[in-house]
Structure 1
Amino acid sequence: MRKLFPLLLLLFILQPILSQRPEGAPGNGPASITISGTVLDQETNQPLEYATLVLQSIDNPDRVTGGITDLDGKFSVETTPGKYNARVEYISYKTQQLPNKTFEESTDLGTIKLSLDVAQLNEVDVVGERTTVEVRLDKKIYNIGKDLTTSGATISDALSNVPSVNVDIDGGISLRGNENVRILINGKPSALAGFGSTEALQQLPADAIEKVEVITSPSARYDAEGTAGILNIILKREKTLGFNGSINMYAGHPTNAGITANANLRTDKFNFFTTIGYRYREGPGNGFFDTRYFDPRQDAFLDSIAYDRNIEDRDIDRINRGINANFGIEYFFNKQSSITGSYFLRTGSDEDLTTNINDYLLNNAPQVGTTRSELETEKDNTHQISLNYINRFDDDGQVLTADFQYSVDTENQNGFISEPVRYNNTANTDISIPREETSTIEDQTEYLIQSDYVLPFGEDSQFEAGYRGNFENQVTDYSLLQENESGNLEVNVNQTNIFDYTQNVHALYSQYGSKFGDFNFLLGLRMESTQLKGKIESQLTEEELQDEFSFPIDTDFDNNYTGLFPTVNLIFEFNEKENVSLGYNRRINRPRSWFLNPFPSRSSRTNIFQGNPNLRPAFSNAFDLGYLKRWDKLTLTSSIYYQIESDAFQRVQEQVFITGPGGSQVEVVRNIPFNLATNDRTGAELGLLYNPFKWLRLNGSVNYFSFNLNGEFNGVNYSQSNNSWFGRFSSKVTLPWKIDWQTNAFYRGASDEVQGRSDGILSINLAFSKDFLNDNATISLNVQDLLNSRKRSSFTTTDFYDQDSEFQWRQRQLRVSFIYRINEQKKRGRPEREDDGGEGEF
């Protein structure tokens, strides 16, 4: 109840407003009359369905009523007698004004004919089709336009085409080569972004995105979380009156299919919106691992068979299916204020079957061969309720917003593991690797309470202040069952556990911005108080737990941190088309629950990932110097940046022993995160948007970065220097018969890692599309990873082995998609009211 108090207070304040009965409403005035008529296209005389009649009272301008036309273009609206300014509107048509009308009785306005607004169509189509970039004091905004390669794809796929952003083959997102990036939806943490992970972004449709804000120098308004910066994904919301929507269907090979429907009905008082979709995807992947041990080792599971080499061939068959749905309504109290409520649902039912063919060799002579089969099932249910109130007090920009968000997520994972022997060239005939079953139940709850206030000063200055409270709790219940000598499954008490994790963050901020001639600045300060709590429940004693993890840990911790995070953003404009910017910010990287949970997860029998409860937050100071120049057909963006991070996280591999069936000690390779002393990053990026002809658009960017790691763990020094780069290129060509052809290419250069190196990766996507049915429909063909080359190849060396590996998360995909738009017509339309998607900007 303590966390719900601000919401209840907000609703109490708004209750008198919500309970007011508009003047002239039923039961509060004279009998109603009916205003009717028919709306037609002036050129074709075809009826215009969903055209809007708006009636605004002259005596009381805040009182607005209206309605929409039916399939035959007819409308019938009930109102009270009086004087009105009437108008008839339809998307992309000129508005028909009917000023100063007196209606004393029911009236038929007859036939009203609307003509196309040609100038508006030309202007909006150009903007809607083109990918553009805007530079603000604290961000770059990429209006991603009509990206053919992501039709029928996911948000994760769309982000891979945004400059400065890299999406690796596992779906991990990095910004300028740094994986600690904060993902926001409409300016707020959201269940749509997967509670801090990126899995949900691989399930949501890319068609939902309007623009992406790349915030490498965040102002004080934003979370201080994420040392790399912030990616703020702004979702589409229709601003035009009337009804509009779209249906997107796709299918492809390997088998993947889905359908997404969007609908929006907007009047002067209400805006109803919904998106609902179903997806089914089969994602075959593969891997190869060749591990060579410096000294022969013995595996308890193989009955002490000695080997010095393990060759693993891995095939992965995935099935992902689920439903995403979003329902919402916005009510406009007047032109200045509104309240929006929405409900989001995501369900998933996934199955992953991983088959590992293992060969164990000694002096290159095959000893034993096994086939490990691991079936993992997962059911996921996410629910999110959101409320947003906004009040624009005046036309000068004074704005108050208040948000409440409640999210719950439940995941149930079950794993079934068996590893029968394929061949045995040893004298031991009793080799039998025990079966395993794992169960993970994860429940997560999150509350968000936020309020922001913007107060302009004069024409060129602005003050802003706000509060955000984020309260998260995650309970992970993990159990491991292993086959005993009698063939029955029994609980491994050394691994079975419950981990209860809580993260609470309170934040206050203020910032001030102003403009002096061609010079703009934005100064801010944010204070964040963080509480990280974790408690481990296990059948092991405290002493047994310490022995199991091989390093001291706190099984019931409560860590509190309070920090100040200043921000400075400056821009000097040489003219309207050229500017230089400078930014500074301090940020924090808080360890997530899976980095803190000390009980291991098992990716294979001999490879585990184990969290580290001793992890501390990492802090960074970052500087960014940018330059932008626009010509008539060319836009150049560039920047150089430097970041120094203390207590940076890094994962390493080491050889340890864990307790197996019957108390046996099993040697495994453990991946574990720890705090480095420092991590210095330096880099530069360059981007070009070039539109030499109406039929040709080119877009390219390159990012180079280097970093120096300095630190040690368990007596091993992991200090190193590294550099790498990545680049992308996109071209869009309009062929004869108005067929659009788009090519996207991405290359990530080779890089040195803490324990080895990674090879470069090349990926090319192709797409073709054609509009028809008066541009209401589009059919597209796209190929993801044309060369089937999106694979991670790496070499790892440790004190006890060398390993060559290659891993492909998803093979080449072919997809055909069909989109049909209802009253949208490729982004045509006139906004009635600007909406910043939850992000005020200076």
Structure 2
Amino acid sequence: MKKIKFAVLLVLFFTSFYNYAQQAPPGRNKVKVTGKVLEKVSKQPLEYAIISFKAPNNTKVVADGVTNPKGEFEIAVAPGTYDIKVEFISFKSTEIKGKTISGDTSLGVVSLSEDAAQLNEVVVRAEKSTVEIKLDKKVYSVGQDMMVKGGTVSDVLDNVPSVSVDTEGNVSLRGSDNIRILIDGRPSNAINIAEALRQLPADAIDKVEVITNPSARYDAEGGSGLINIILKKGKNQGFNGTFIASTGIPETYGLSGNLNYKTEKLNYFTTLGYNHRTNEGAGLTNTEYLNADGTPKGFLDEDRDTKRTSDGFNGRAGIEWTVAPNTYWTNAINYQKNSGDTRDLINYNNFDASHAFTGTSFRLNDGETGSQNVEYTSNLIKNFNDKGHKLTADLSISKNDDDSNSTITASPNYNTTLNNQVQKQVLFQADYVLPLGKGSQFEAGYKGSFGDLNNEYFVTDENGLKDPNLSNTLEYKENINALYTQYGFKVNKFSYLFGLRWEDTNIHVNLLETSDFNTKKYNNLFPSAFISYEISDQSSFSASYSKRLTRPRGRFMNPAVNYSSNINIFQGNPDLDPSLTDKYDIGYIKRWSKLTFNTSAYFEDTKDVFSFVRTPNGNLVNGIPVILNRPINLGKEQKFGFEFTLNYTPFKIWRINSNFNFYNVKTTGENTYVDFNGNTVVQNLDNQANTWFARINSKLTLPYKIDWQLSANYNGSQKTAQGKNLDMFGMNTALSKDVMKDKATIAFNISDIFNSRIMRSYTYLQNSTTLESQTAYSEMQFRKRQFNLSFTYRFNKPKGERDKNAAPKEGDGGGDFPG
């Protein structure tokens, strides 16, 4: 009954907005005024240009509207005589005085020129909104967000609508971590994605695209969608660049530079950066052990104190060559080198059934980490004409080394661990686009991805002897070949896009120490369909479907035991199968002169979903049972939710964007295992829960041209199969001031003002053999409150630069709908 009520409310929600949109076209006494607004020099369309109508000698606006992505507008007005004004931030406005309108009228093409005087003004500089809302994706511009100055890509993603980053650096989209992360349109080649994102500086990022329901053009992997991180590449003619220096508390400092030299045919670009970061974290776990009759058996309190330091160098250099007026070839080298130290101290306090103190012990993990990543990329774009007929080809060759070792001191002994990983990957992709007349387009392409990972992990005791139960060498090979085709066309106000992707996967998971060899071969077809209806120039409606895939990777499949805690152990599962998701999405977007509203309802049906289960492994440490945490293919998961995003500019000096996401997730499945006494145990893991997420970001220009930004996010609590995750709140703020005639900017930000971003959870476990159980309350804070100060200097580069004649960017991909 609750589901029916929720569905009815959702239908009413969409119906109300559709009815509102239907009221927008002209009524019985109104006529339509149409036209197109272009930039005078480049002839590029200007989206969000404002067209206003006033009666002569009257300052009151009687009608107005904004242009769509093609620069077109359609506005309903009553017949009469008007002064019509066309304006766009940092451009000279154009006025048409005394225009008499008696019927449907076309104003034709209106061309606007940049206003040099306004370009030098801070208050009216040419800045797009931090978040651009489009029908098929959201685009987040990094350069205008003061909150991430001196931060990392993880900080960037944590400010993106629909995206969340937990305290351990794991990224999720609409509450799901079954996503695909791309860099410049290509899959990230990092071994540990979460760690790699924490190492890459935010200064290297241009923008982030979020696509919740990708078409057949994109990889099928990523059950809940994909995130495309686009790196900076210079645009302006001549020699120009940006330098950024930053420092912070806890001890953090860095220096980076983006340099660019562009001639008529060659564009040289480079990004270099060094950073030293300190992350201080903390955690606790309070466990109560219960007898079969529910009476207390004992208590254990764990207090964790963590400090991580890292030194990282990030470099990227490349050349974009305009081979011919319609052919662009870009080659680049990316290099990353990082090293760090980790100190993780856990104190254990034991108590008896009456909670009287009985003893204490500790566990100290001193570790060193190091990684080196090298990648060569090549991108070729051949435009056969200016109508979209083109061929693109991409090549990527990479090698990643990731090493870590640690000494674990515990009363009364100690261990050492070593984890060495080497990954090699080759990727090739070709895409062909052929327009077939007005409003229709054919696409086809191929992609091959070939990877090889070798992971050696072992644990030794105080005598230097390897523990065979905790050590192994993983050899993981993955070869994927894919073909796709899609066709899009437009009929009146309806646009259609239908696609089909085929992927063939061949995976080898070999455990060399135990001679356990596994081969997984499968191929799948992934259809997709998208339909959109243009209600007016300012509003559109869309519906889409796609089949998606999530392959288990990284630590999910690595059977090496994470030995950072000797009573709570994580271990991967090399026998995991991929999960398949059917995704349905219905979306609506509406634009006003100062407000953009986007909402969507979505449903995801996933088979063989990954889930973590906690089971006792039969061992005891100082009388405490050891709990093993591992992933399994649970069964089925269904998620139904809706979200909306708002961009609101009440005044030129104040911009607000917000995002809200609510969903219900239902999981059905069970876990069957043989316990340490030889008994077959069946865990029923059926679970249904509601949760929600909200974020709001406000940017205000204060007196003396000081910009102030404030953001807050909230994650609601969520029930799990073995407990509950509690709610979490965080707030950040930043101030910035342009100096040195706007050639430089000073920014100060505080991350997690109230030191409240702490993951909190309750867990309940029961031993099916003895009926003894345990309940635990846990807190984990990966990073405490931080303060950062940064200084940015630009030379030969306007702060509000616009790219007038640039070649198409790598990985942009454009919209999915033909137009």
With the shorter chain as reference, the TM-score category is 0.7 to 0.9
Say which of 322, 330, 342 aligns to 2:312.
322
- Give the secondary structure class of the aligned counterpart of 1:709: strand
Letter in 2 for 1:417: I
Say which of 419, 439, 451 aligns to 2:418.
439
- Please tell me whether the aligned partners of residues 124 and 652 of structure 2 are also in contact (alpha carbons under 8 angstroms): no
CA distance in 2, matches of 1:506, 1:473: 15
CA distance in 1, matches of 2:535, 2:668: 41
1:97 match: none
Once the two structures are superposed, what CA deviation does each residue of 1:107-148 show, in whole Å capped at 9, x if it has no partner? xxxxxxxx9844777899755352242424x43333455111
2:458 match: 479
Which moved further from structure 2: 153-162 or 766-775? 153-162
1:522 match: 497
Is 2:216 the counterpart of 1:241?
A: no
Give 1:72-87 correspondences, 5 Å limit. none
Letter in 2 for 1:764: M
- Please tell me whether the aligned partners of residues 130 and 145 of structure 1 are also in contact (alpha carbons under 8 angstroms): no
CA distance in 2, matches of 1:359, 1:196: 33
Give 1:548-627 correspondences, 5 Å limit. 555-627=516-588
- Please tell me whether the aligned partners of residues 238 and 262 of structure 2 are also in contact (alpha carbons under 8 angstroms): yes
Once the two structures are superposed, what CA deviation does each residue of 1:153-210 show, in whole Å capped at 9, x if it has no partner? 111111111111111111111111011111011111133xx24622211121223333
1:348 match: 338
- Please tell me whether the aligned partners of residues 501 and 533 of structure 1 are also in contact (alpha carbons under 8 angstroms): yes
CA distance in 2, matches of 1:147, 1:478: 40
Letter in 1 for 2:466: V
Which moved further from structure 2: 738-747 or 287-296? 287-296
- 1:397 is displaced (CA, Å) by 1.2
Give 1:248-263 correspondences, 5 Å limit. 248-263=244-259
CA distance in 1, matches of 2:461, 2:301: 24
1:705 match: 663
1:83 match: none
1:168 match: 166
Is 2:817 the counterpart of 1:819?
A: no
Once the two structures are superposed, what CA deviation does each residue of 1:716-756 show, in whole Å capped at 9, x if it has no partner? 11011011001001111111100000000001011111211
Say which of 367, 374, 392 aligns to 2:358.
367
Which moved further from structure 2: 641-650 or 367-376? 367-376
Give 1:294-693 correspondences, 5 Å limit. 294-295=290-291, 308-363=298-353, 364-420=355-411, 433-483=412-462, 488-538=463-513, 555-657=516-618, 667-693=625-651
Once the two structures are superposed, what CA deviation does each residue of 1:573-624 show, in whole Å capped at 9, x if it has no partner? 1111100111100001111142222332212111211122221110010100
- Please tell me whether the aligned partners of residues 213 and 224 of structure 2 are also in contact (alpha carbons under 8 angstroms): no
1:52 match: none
CA distance in 2, matches of 1:387, 1:187: 12
- 1:93 is displaced (CA, Å) by 13
CA distance in 2, matches of 1:806, 1:734: 38
Is 2:745 the counterpart of 1:778?
A: yes
CA distance in 2, matches of 1:342, 1:656: 49
Question: Which segments of 5 or more consecutive residues in structure 2 lack a partner in the other structure?
Answer: 1-89, 93-113, 673-681, 767-772
Change (3 A) 1:122 1:217: farther
- Please tell me whether the aligned partners of residues 500 and 534 of structure 1 are also in contact (alpha carbons under 8 angstroms): yes
- 1:259 is displaced (CA, Å) by 0.8
CA distance in 2, matches of 1:510, 1:632: 38
CA distance in 2, matches of 1:208, 1:127: 21
Larger Rg: 1
- Please tell me whether the aligned partners of residues 124 and 827 of structure 1 are also in contact (alpha carbons under 8 angstroms): no
Change (3 A) 1:666 1:593: farther
- Give the secondary structure class of the aligned counterpart of 2:154: helix
Task: Give the root-mean-square deviation of aligned CA atoms.
Answer: 2.3
CA distance in 1, matches of 2:810, 2:691: 35
CA distance in 1, matches of 2:206, 2:467: 49
- Give the secondary structure class of the aligned counterpart of 2:575: coil
- Give the secondary structure class of the aligned counterpart of 1:798: strand
Question: Which segments of 5 or more consecutive residues in structure 1 lack a partner in the other structure?
Answer: 1-91, 95-114, 297-305, 421-432, 543-554
- Please tell me whether the aligned partners of residues 125 and 827 of structure 1 are also in contact (alpha carbons under 8 angstroms): no
- 1:830 is displaced (CA, Å) by 4.1
1:153 match: 151
Once the two structures are superposed, what CA deviation does each residue of 1:373-413 show, in whole Å capped at 9, x if it has no partner? 11111010000011111111111111111111011111111
- 1:819 is displaced (CA, Å) by 0.1
Letter in 2 for 1:595: F
Is 2:286 the counterpart of 1:290?
A: yes
- Please tell me whether the aligned partners of residues 711 and 733 of structure 2 are also in contact (alpha carbons under 8 angstroms): yes
1:763 match: 730
1:107 match: none
2:764 match: 797
CA distance in 2, matches of 1:143, 1:525: 31
CA distance in 2, matches of 1:571, 1:143: 25
- 1:836 is displaced (CA, Å) by 3.3
Letter in 2 for 1:818: F
Letter in 2 for 1:281: R
- 1:307 is displaced (CA, Å) by 7.4
- Please tell me whether the aligned partners of residues 441 and 478 of structure 1 are also in contact (alpha carbons under 8 angstroms): yes
2:134 match: 135
CA distance in 1, matches of 2:123, 2:502: 42
Once the two structures are superposed, what CA deviation does each residue of 1:630-668 show, in whole Å capped at 9, x if it has no partner? 1111111100000100000000100013699xxx99952
Which moved further from structure 2: 225-234 or 142-151? 142-151
- 1:810 is displaced (CA, Å) by 0.5
Once the two structures are superposed, what CA deviation does each residue of 1:60-117 show, in whole Å capped at 9, x if it has no partner? xxxxxxxxxxxxxxxxxxxxxxxxxxxxxxxx999xxxxxxxxxxxxxxxxxxxx984
- Please tell me whether the aligned partners of residues 600 and 609 of structure 1 are also in contact (alpha carbons under 8 angstroms): yes
Say which of 263, 271, 274 aligns to 1:267.
263
- Please tell me whether the aligned partners of residues 129 and 145 of structure 1 are also in contact (alpha carbons under 8 angstroms): no
Change (3 A) 1:358 1:511: same
- Please tell me whether the aligned partners of residues 732 and 740 of structure 1 are also in contact (alpha carbons under 8 angstroms): yes
CA distance in 1, matches of 2:806, 2:559: 51
- Please tell me whether the aligned partners of residues 130 and 144 of structure 1 are also in contact (alpha carbons under 8 angstroms): no
- Give the secondary structure class of the aligned counterpart of 2:186: coil
CA distance in 1, matches of 2:144, 2:575: 46
- Please tell me whether the aligned partners of residues 608 and 633 of structure 2 are also in contact (alpha carbons under 8 angstroms): yes
Is 2:175 the counterpart of 1:185?
A: no
Number of equivalences: 686
- 1:479 is displaced (CA, Å) by 1.2
Change (3 A) 1:93 1:750: closer
- 1:838 is displaced (CA, Å) by 2.5
Letter in 2 for 1:214: V
1:65 match: none
CA distance in 2, matches of 1:355, 1:195: 26
1:89 match: none
- Please tell me whether the aligned partners of residues 336 and 373 of structure 2 are also in contact (alpha carbons under 8 angstroms): yes
Letter in 2 for 1:249: A
CA distance in 1, matches of 2:472, 2:235: 50
Letter in 1 for 2:157: L
Is 2:721 the counterpart of 1:747?
A: no
Letter in 1 for 2:511: I
- Give the secondary structure class of the aligned counterpart of 1:489: coil
